[in-house]
A and B are shown apart, each in its own frame.
Chain A
Amino acid sequence: QGLKSLVPTEFPGPDPIFGTTKPGLPATDTFLGTNKVPDLQRVFQRSDGLPVHLKRGYPDRMLYRTTMALTIGGTFYCLVALYIASQPK
């Protein structure tokens, strides 16, 4: 929809006093992983016409098909089960 990509205004990093005790610390936070949001923003803003629930390709398609199989298949099973259950004994 033409919205420009988010400029990540992420946390400016550790407390301002860092660097006095550990001079070798990198400027970006590495505690529990690095920031991958900008990469993901690039992926999800690709102009490929894919809807958001299929944007990542193969894993999204597999999950979607599994959900569809369970819900649509389940609905048919449900209708059959309810028909049988509604029969007199």
Chain B
Amino acid sequence: MAHQAHSYHMVDPSPWPIFGAAAALLTASGLTMWFHHKTPYLLIIGLISTALVMFQWWRDIIRESTFQGHHTPTVQKGLRYGMVLFITSEAFFFLGFFWAFFHSSLAPTPELGGQWPPVGITPLDPMEVPLLNTAILLASGVTVTWAHHSITEARRKQAIYALLLTVLLGCYFTALQGMEYYEAPFSIADGVYGSTFFVATGFHGLHVIIGSTFLFVCLLRLIKYHFTSNHHFGFEAAAWYWHFVDVVWLFLYISIYWWGS
């Protein structure tokens, strides 16, 4: 049997990239059909196929790493670069929405009454639920670090408790934010204030849900003994992503919630 003379991972042929591309096509055109022709079927097929591809692709990565041993230190280094680059791209994504917010709020037009918040807008009190949400995310940053230390110290039970607490804090944030959205005295249609507020905080909320899901998958893998005290990059990637989500919230809180009120 031939053995490779390098430490890289030559993956088995996989259908997920092309199926994932098709799923993206279905989701995008599904959105179009839903917006313009009020039929949601293509969108539903797109979302389901996207979910199926994601599940199977990441399942296969776990198989290749934990069960087949392909993730050498060289491979892991590449994955670290990849995650850092991805998070950087997400940072630029949010930068755009912050740009939009400051563009409109630093020089409010006469149509807004020459002030920020605009005339007629009652902003949310930053010292109420938003402050609680800040505390929740900061606490979750502590618990995820606690979980990481527990993993490196091979304390499985403690790591499980810490990671579970992190996921629960993430869910608590999402629930509170959902309630805030429901109770808010303004909507996304309320001029540029509503647009910048809900698009920026909305995409942040989506990232909290993604991050919580990523951490939850790590929790399941932790329970199933996938991680060792030396090799647990999946968890580290989730923790990096979670800290990124936390930092974006801090910027949102300071600029939109606090300065913007």
Contact = CB atoms under 8 A, between A and B. Distances in A.
B157 interface: yes
A8 B14 CA distance: 27
A57 to B, nearest CB: 13
**Which label, helix, strand, loop or mixed, suits the secondary structure of the B interface?**
helix
Interface string B168-188: 000000000000000000000
B16 A70 contact: no
A6 to B, nearest CB: 4
A37 B66 contact: yes
A63 interface: yes
Given A15-B155, A75-B26, A3 B49 contact: no
Interface in A12-69: 12, 14-15, 29, 31-33, 35-37, 40-41, 43-45, 47, 51-53, 55, 63-64, 66-68
Contacts of B3: 1-2
Contacts of B36: 85
Given A1-B4, A3-B70, A85-B33, A53 B155 contact: no
B69 to A, nearest CB: 4
A44 B67 contact: yes
A2 B29 contact: no
A81 B32 CA distance: 10
Interface residues of A, number: 46
A68 B19 contact: yes
Interface string B38-49: 010110011011
A70 B69 contact: no
B206 interface: no
A47 B3 CA distance: 14
Contacts, number: 133
A87 B154 CA distance: 63
A74 B223 contact: no
A32 B66 CA distance: 19
B29 A53 contact: no
Contact of B52 (A15, A43, A45, A67): A67
Interface in B23-65: 23, 25-26, 29-30, 32-33, 36-37, 39, 41-42, 45-46, 48-49, 52-53, 56, 60, 63-64
A32 B60 contact: no
A70 B155 contact: no
A71 B22 contact: yes
A40 B10 contact: no
Given A6-B69, A53-B15, A78 B26 contact: yes
B13 A5 contact: no
Interface of B: 1-4, 9-16, 19, 22-23, 25-26, 29-30, 32-33, 36-37, 39, 41-42, 45-46, 48-49, 52-53, 56, 60, 63-64, 66-70, 154-157, 160, 223-226, 228-230
18 contacts: A4-B69, A10-B228, A29-B156, A31-B156, A32-B160, A37-B224, A37-B226, A40-B67, A41-B68, A44-B63, A52-B63, A53-B14, A64-B56, A74-B26, A75-B26, A77-B41, A85-B32, A85-B36
